[in-house]
Amino acid sequence: MTKSIYCSGFGAIYSEGIFSKLTEKHWDDTQNDPESIRRDQVIDSPMPTFGKLNLPDKLAYCVSALALAGNQDCGGDRSGICIAVPYGSLTTDMFFMESVLCGLPGPAYFSATLPSSTIADIAINNKFKGPDRIFSGGDTPVSDSIQASFNLIQADKADTVLFLSVWAIDLKNRTRLSDAGLVPNSAFGALFSSRQSSVSSLKCSLDIRNNASLSDTRSEYDFCIRLTDALRKGNRAVIPFSHDTPENYFEIT
């Protein structure tokens, strides 16, 4: 039997600002990029380990805090994380290589040079002990990640899944890459569950008719923005994953 799936929280950190079910903040004049996000913009209490987070991990952590805000009854064995992180840990890999060249390889950098490191602090601090899926590239990692979130719940491997998508390359490192095609630093997240935890939880569904991939990272970024807009409004909406594949869509029902 197919379970109903609800979205009980969401988060978005991108050029337009910082958004969640409960808050909407705009960037300060001093902030020219989501890279500069501060702890106090997403988390109320002091967090000494915040500064240690490398950019992909920091954006993932912040957006997870936004998506989890106001949701008390998640965490534990039946809570998992599905993340799309197309750029992997490349930005941290670059800092690690610099430290190698200096003759003193940095342990803190190395421990963050895996796409799975990006969710480590989220899992630890929120006790998300269930199954994870980490999509570090591929044709449609965002779509894969949302599908995986739904599949894990339908297959009864989890009751709650935190979906995240993160694009993160430090500004300092962007100059070394061909900046032309790079997606801006950003992170998006949503908390999916088989339980309707509050009246404001939105019932959702996925329809994927066309398994072939006709998407690219830029259109997946656009999808995340459109999804955020729809979740902010909270009304019924059909959000295709890309304009080329309207038969694949996320729906707020």
Residue number, 128 or 188, with CB nearest to another protein: 128
Tell me the C-alpha distance between 35 and 32, whole Å. 8
Task: Give the CA count within 13 Å in the CB-facing half-sphere of 87.
Answer: 29
Tell me the C-alpha distance between 144 and 135, whole Å. 7
Q: Which of 7, 5, 4, 11 is nearest to 189 (CA)?
A: 11
| Of the residues 13, 42, 74, 121, which one makes contact with another protein according to CB under 8 A | 121
Residue number, 183 or 187, with CB nearest to another protein: 183
Q: Is 127 in the site for another protein (CB under 8 A)?
A: yes
Helices 217-233 and 141-154, interaxial angle, to 10°?
50
Q: Is 49 in the site for another protein (CB under 8 A)?
A: yes
Tokens of 47: 């967090």
Residue 17, phi then psi, degrees to nearest 5: 145, -160
| Of the residues 141, 219, 237, 242, which one makes contact with another protein according to CB under 8 A | 141
| Of the residues 61, 88, 193, 248, which one makes contact with another protein according to CB under 8 A | 88
Tokens of 140: 């449609």
Tokens of 39: 């702890």
Beta carbons within 10 angstroms of residue 237's beta carbon = 18
Q: Is 117 in the site for another protein (CB under 8 A)?
A: yes
| Of the residues 1, 2, 44, 46, which one makes contact with another protein according to CB under 8 A | 46
Residue number, 9 or 80, with CB nearest to another protein: 80
Q: Single out the segment in contact with another protein by CB under 8 A; choices: 17-25, 28-36, 144-152, 197-205.
A: 144-152
Q: Is 86 in the site for another protein (CB under 8 A)?
A: yes
Q: How far is the CB of 73 from another protein (least distance, A)?
A: 17
Tokens of 13: 């950190």
Tell me the C-alpha distance between 115 and 134, whole Å. 7
- Tell me the per-residue interface mask from 23 to 42 with another protein, x by CB under 8 A, - otherwise: ----------------x---
Type of residue found at 68: L
The count of residues interacting with another protein (CB under 8 A) is 70
Residues that bind another protein (CB under 8 A): 39, 46-52, 77, 80-81, 86-88, 90, 93-94, 96-98, 100-101, 104-108, 110-121, 123-124, 126-141, 144, 148, 151, 155, 157, 176-178, 208, 211-213, 217
